[in-house]
Structure 1
Amino acid sequence: MGDIEAPDAAGPRQSALRSILPSKEFASSRKGMLLIAEVALSLVCFICLAASTAAAFVTVPLLEFLAALFLLFAYATKFNERFKGFVWPLMDFLRCVTAAVIYLIISCIAVSKYVDGSSKAAGMFGFVATIVFALDFYLIFNELANFLKQGRESNEDEPSRQEDGFSDSDSD
């Protein structure tokens, strides 16, 4: 009897694991690859800083790791499409801008002030993380600018009723 139930037990466990991991389509997309790189680099910086004498800076990589992991999960499971109350691209943009600036500052301090090898490694991975976060906020900024430009062009195409002296509130 146990042999019959054994193959069925592996099925739900495998599907539960697949529901947590991002889909292959999202992971191979540009946004997915950037988020995976941000998660990995933040984790490596966290580990290097925790093992170094520059352990005072360990909070920033940990918070960025958790934020990038949350957004990776949200975008991969389309969680962001269910909650329209948040402006997801703007939140992601602000996260990337602050992360790039803070990683740049921490990396410069870790490389110049501390002499141990793990501080230097954390600084180098921090510089790479700065580039990845900067690339991500540049791409998000371009998408937001194109979205706003398209919205402005669609508003200009509509005929204006205000030229006649009437507006929607006057017709009531």
Structure 2
Amino acid sequence: MSEDQNQNPPVDVNTTFLKSKRGILKVAEMVTLLVAFVCFTAASRPTYIAATALEFLITLLLVLLYALRLNKRLTFFIWPLIDVFNSVFAAAYFIILSLMALSTYAVTGTLVGGIVGLMSAGLLCVDSYTLFKNITFNKPRRETQNQDN
């Protein structure tokens, strides 16, 4: 039984990701999405609740993917590209969702949720820009690593 435990290495937590700019940006996205979720829940707006909860879970899974270095083990996906697509589509969706919440609010929770949703959309735009800038297209890998430093 001890041989089986030695074959599977323990999960390595990447604390440097959580301290990096991208990690802090992802955590800030999660915080704003959670605040928007709470505001929409207090206002009893089911469509807004579902959208913010879904994006919160997707962002949480991406943070766990990078923090636990699962992106190194699951190499059949291009994770930065998936992250960019998620950020771009979520930013566009949250801009529309937040503007709808702001224009049709009847309860203060919907108004605050719409404002925080716009803040979250701004963070998602910044995240997609920084990720897209770091993805290599027709550049040698070493050249892009030198640009990041």
Q: Give the structure-1-normalised TM-score.
A: 0.71
Aligned to 1:111: 102
Aligned to 1:149: 138
Give yes or no for contact 1:53–1:116 (8 Å, CA) kept in 2. no
Q: State the structure with bigger RCO (CA 8 A, min sep 6), 1 or 2.
A: 2
**2:52 is matched with which residue: 40, 44, 61?**
61
Taking only the aligned residue pairs, the percentage that are identical comes to 30
1:27 matched to 2:27 = no
Moved over 2 A (4+): 19-22, 53-56
**What is the aligned length?**
132
CA RMSD of superposed structures (Å): 2.1
Amino acid in the other structure paired with 1:66: L
Aligned to 2:119: 128
1:79 matched to 2:70 = yes
Question: Rg bigger for which structure?
Answer: 1
User: Following TM superposition, by how much is the alpha carbon of 1:53 offset from its aligned partner in structure 2, in angstroms?
Assistant: 4.3
Amino acid in the other structure paired with 2:119: V
Deviates more, 1:83-92 or 1:38-47: 38-47
Q: Give the structure-2-normalised TM-score.
A: 0.81
Amino acid in the other structure paired with 1:131: G
Amino acid in the other structure paired with 2:107: D
Give yes or no for contact 2:12–2:69 (8 Å, CA) kept in 1. no
Task: Indicate the SS of the match to 1:58.
Answer: helix
1:52 matched to 2:61 = no
User: What CA distance in whole angstroms lies between the structure 2 residues aligned with 1:85 and 1:149?
Assistant: 20
CA displacement 1:80-114 (0-9 Å, x = unmatched): 01111011011101110111011101110111111
Aligned to 2:6: none
Q: How has the CA–CA distance of structure 1 residues 38 and 21 changed in structure 2, closer, same or farther, with 3 Å as cutoff?
A: farther
